[in-house]
Structure formats: C-alpha cells, structure tokens
Structure 1
Amino acid sequence: MQVAGVGFDAVTEDEVVDWVAAELAAGRGGRIVTPNVDICRAAAVDPALKDLVRTADLVVADGMPLVWAARLLGTPLPERVTGADLIWSLSKLAARHGWPVYLLGGPPGAPQKAARELTSCYPRLRICGVHAPPYCFDATPEGGDRVRRAVIAARPRLVFVGLGFPRQDRLIADLREELPETWFLGCGAAIAFAAGTVPRAPVWMRRIGLEWAFRLGGEPARLARRYLVDDLPFAVRLLGRCLVTRLRRM
C-alpha cells in the first residue's frame, strides 16, 4: 500500500520475523527498510532515495503518522514496526537458530554495549562482529571498503546497520551483492537504544505518536530542525491530504 509516496508491506513485527526466518532457512537474504516521516520526506524529493526504499525486500512503517495516514486512506497498516523493536525480536530468532549477527553503527562503544545487552537477554546469540565506524568513514573509497570488508569477512546471517538513512541503506545495498544469504536491517538509532547509550521513550509515548517529542527533549540541538522545521510540517500536510481524500470518498 502507498503512503506518502512510499509502498509499505502490511505486516506485523511477528510476521516480519517469520518471513526472515523462512528466507534465512531457505538460504535467501534480503534487506528491511523502516521508513519514518523523515525518510518519507527525503524520498519525496529525491528519486534515488525513493528507489533505495522501493527496492527493499520489506518496507515497514516506523512512525505513527504513517500508520494514521494509512488508516485515513482506508488501507490500514496492522501496526508500527520499528528497527528499535526488530533488533530484539530478530536477535531472539538468530539465537534460536544459531545464526551469527553483526552490529554496525552507533556512537563509539555502542555496538559493544548493545552486544552485551542482547547476549545477556539471549545467551545463545552469536555476535560475529561489532563496529562503530567514524561518521565520515565513507568519505573516501578506502574508508568504505574497510567497513565492507570487515562485514563480509565475518560472514553474518543477520546484520543490524545503525548509520542513519540513507548512509546505512546505501551500504546495505552494496553488501547485499557480496552476502546474498544475509538479511540486513537498517535500524537507525536502534543500536544506541539497545546499548542504553541513548534512552528510548516510554511505551505510552510510543503508542500515541510522541516518541519524537521525547527524543527532541533529549537532543534538542541535533534534532530541533529535523523534527520541527522539516518533519512536522510534512506530517501535517500528509495527514491533511489523507483526510481530504477520505472525505471525498464518503
């Protein structure tokens, strides 16, 4: 179904996990993109970014405004599915089957801390590599190659990439060619959340679509422009257009 010009798969988190499990068992890899309002806004003005999302194997809505918009259009998504939740449910899956996992991204030390938290929760989980590359690691071909070679050498079956859109998704698209039997999740801040280095909003705030406000309160200097100047007007316009479409159909 189409929301904000992006095609979403109408699946629950459990259905994503089941899909990935079946594909991994069959020796097939893939990639998951979790668009939020910010990603949809970027994709709306850049055809290359829109194509980066469109070509993913699974596209799930990480943002309550997108869930609300789908409801207004009469094509509801079953639930919000976030990278911050999938990193746990997919790690549980990997632990159950013995599939090795690689953590790539987050602030310095975050993937190591996230690995400890995940293995504490799932003792059978195999972490085959962790790395927090510097912000501009891909500014040179050599820097990007070093990161790619490290992931490829580890031979993971699941890779969580928390480098932010579109950097993480471009890297994943490159790695897919080298690791065709591996599943990749572009998960943004999920590694930092799992590590505990960045706090996540309480469940009640997530449910009513206020996770962005919690994050803004924690990092106002970094997120104010993105949330208040760029994303909030886009979300308001999106919901307004969807409401008008719904009323015209009545």
Structure 2
Amino acid sequence: MSAEQALARRQPLPSPGLDRDETVANVGGVAVSTLSLDALIGKMLVEAPLRRSLDHPPLLIFDANGQGLSMNASDPVFRADMTQADLIHADGQIIVAASRWFGGPPIADRSSTTDMFIDSLKPAAEAGVSYYLLGGEEKVNAACVEKIVTMAPGLQVAGRRNGFWKPHEEDAVIDAINAAAPDVLWVGTGKPREQAFCVRNRDRIKAGWIVTCGGLFNYITGDYPRAPLWMQKSGFEWLHRMATRPKELAWRYITTNPHALWLIWKHRHG
C-alpha cells in the first residue's frame, strides 16, 4: 500500500480518554507541535502505556528540522508520510525560532530527539514505561541499550534490533516487536526510511507510541559527538555536526539549510 493510499484509508483514531495536542505552528509548510520538551515527555509517559494496554493503534511521533522541511517540500512520498504523524515536534532550533518570527503560535522550546530520549530515561524507569530500540548498527544498538540501563537503573528495555534488514525480513521484525509489546518503540533508521516504515506498519505494530529518532543511538554511545550546549541553544548544532562528520553531512546541510530558510519565508503567513 502506498503512503497516499494509506492516508486515504486512514480513519480517526479512537481516543484513549486523553486530550490530544491541538496547538501547532506552521513552520515551512509543516504543522509542528508547540509543546515544550517536558510536556512532550510527560505526554509520552502517560499516553504510551495507556494506548498499548487498551490495544489502541500507536501514535506516530515524527520530528521537524531543516532537513525535514526540505524533504517535505521536495519529496511527495515523504510528505505523504509526514501527514500521517499524530504529532511532529521541533527537533531543530531553527524551527523554534521561525515559529516566533511571524506572529504565529510560538513553540515553547526545542525538543531534540536526543534530549527527549535522555531526559525521559529516569522518569520512564520510575513509571515502568518500556522501550524498544530499533535501528543503528548491531554494535551501536547493543552498546546503546547497555548504556541506558546504566543511566537509568530499572529501565525496562522490552527488546532491541539493529536497523538493517531486507524487505522479506520485515514481517519478522514486526513479529519481534509485537512479542515484546513495548510502550514506546524508538525507530532510528534515518529519513525517509524510518517514516515510511512507521506509516507502512502502524496498523500492525503493538506499541503505545512510535517515535522516529534518526542517529539517536549513535549519539547515546558517543559515536557521534554532540555539540557544546551553547551551540545547541543558539541553533548552530548543525555546524558542529557538519564539522565533525563532513563526509556524511556537509552536502546535506549545504543543500537543505538554504532551502529550509526559503520555505520558512514562503510559508511565513501560515
């Protein structure tokens, strides 16, 4: 089933009795939640286990950054997948800043996926919320699990799997996730593959929330260094990433950042 067919067939999800986030800011043509990082984490820790226990379809949580804005405008398949998200959060500081430039509803703060994951570990352990990590190389995925259970003793890791499989193996990947039945499934296989996987399989995955997370696991293990805090807050983390991983990221940022800025200007009036 194509992303367009899935969108056409999609019916409103049954509510588990909790308020859904209705406040969004239109940034560069993408509807981004105005929730703060703390509010987003709180929402996940309450909603995810409830949805899973009530056997409701999982919510899809995608992210928005400069690359995402550019891909959303230039790739119709990716754009169709993005419209399937139940919530899109501001992974890039430029998204937060842009929400305040033209008088629209402001986004509270940046909710980078790495911060969302790290800041949720101890509360998740205390609340008994289980995680499943899907993505990354085998050694990175395994090391990430080992590190987070040390960071948050008692954290329930329902399961894990690396991000490399062939199309005919996808059913087995889904079966393994469903056998673990996690509250939150973290999918880190990179854009646009992770969004396509989530949309394609949401109706047969047993989880409360499915959160896309790109190279998150590599940042947790330290394989990808994070920028200094001042660069994260000032919106220059991309520059640090480009400088530390030029072969992988230089062309991406050189091409998508200007396009994202143009899209923000183009859609400045909503």
Please give the TM-score of this superposition, normalised by the length of structure 2: 0.82
Which of 113, 134, 143 is the matching residue for 1:113? 143
Distance, in Å, in 2 between the alignment partners of 1:69 and 1:80 is 12
1:54 aligns with 83
Distance, in Å, in 1 between the alignment partners of 2:32 and 2:245 is 29
Deviation at 1:200, TM superposition (A): 1.0
Which of 85, 89, 92 is the matching residue for 2:122? 92
Distance, in Å, in 2 between the alignment partners of 1:239 and 1:175 is 31
Deviation at 1:241, TM superposition (A): 4.4
2:262 aligns with 237
CA contact (8 A) 2:185 2:207 kept: no
Deviating 4+ runs (over 6 angstroms): none
Deviation at 1:208, TM superposition (A): 0.8
Distance change (3 Å), C-alpha of 1:25 and 1:152: closer
1:168 aligns with 194
Which of 46, 68, 72 is the matching residue for 1:39? 68
Query: Are 2:133 and 1:103 aligned?
Result: yes
Distance change (3 Å), C-alpha of 1:48 and 1:98: same
Query: Are 2:35 and 1:11 aligned?
Result: yes
**Which shows bigger deviation, 185-194 or 233-242?**
233-242
Distance, in Å, in 1 between the alignment partners of 2:85 and 2:264 is 25
CA contact (8 A) 2:47 2:208 kept: no
CA contact (8 A) 1:34 1:186 kept: yes
Distance, in Å, in 1 between the alignment partners of 2:174 and 2:205 is 10
Distance change (3 Å), C-alpha of 1:187 and 1:133: closer
SS of the counterpart of 1:33?
strand
CA contact (8 A) 1:7 1:54 kept: no
1:214 aligns with 240
Distance, in Å, in 1 between the alignment partners of 2:266 and 2:97 is 12
1:71 aligns with 100
Paired AA for residue 148 in structure 2: L
Distance, in Å, in 2 between the alignment partners of 1:6 and 1:239 is 10
Distance, in Å, in 1 between the alignment partners of 2:257 and 2:245 is 16
SS of the counterpart of 1:8?
strand
Distance, in Å, in 1 between the alignment partners of 2:172 and 2:223 is 25
Distance, in Å, in 1 between the alignment partners of 2:138 and 2:132 is 15
Distance, in Å, in 1 between the alignment partners of 2:208 and 2:160 is 16
Deviation at 1:2, TM superposition (A): 0.8
Please give the TM-score of this superposition, normalised by the length of structure 1: 0.88
SS of the counterpart of 2:90?
coil
Distance change (3 Å), C-alpha of 1:93 and 1:183: farther
Distance change (3 Å), C-alpha of 1:97 and 1:217: same
Distance, in Å, in 2 between the alignment partners of 1:93 and 1:183 is 16
CA contact (8 A) 1:101 1:157 kept: yes
Which of 142, 146, 154 is the matching residue for 1:124? 154
Cα displacement string for residues 48-72 of structure 1 (whole angstroms, at most 9, x for unaligned residues)? 3223222212111111222221111
Identity across matched positions, percent: 29
Q: Mind listing any 5+ residue stretches in structure 2 that lack a counterpart?
A: 1-24
Distance, in Å, in 1 between the alignment partners of 2:247 and 2:172 is 31
1:81 aligns with 111
Distance change (3 Å), C-alpha of 1:236 and 1:133: closer
Distance change (3 Å), C-alpha of 1:25 and 1:224: closer
SS of the counterpart of 1:26?
helix
Q: Mind listing any 5+ residue stretches in structure 1 that lack a counterpart?
A: none
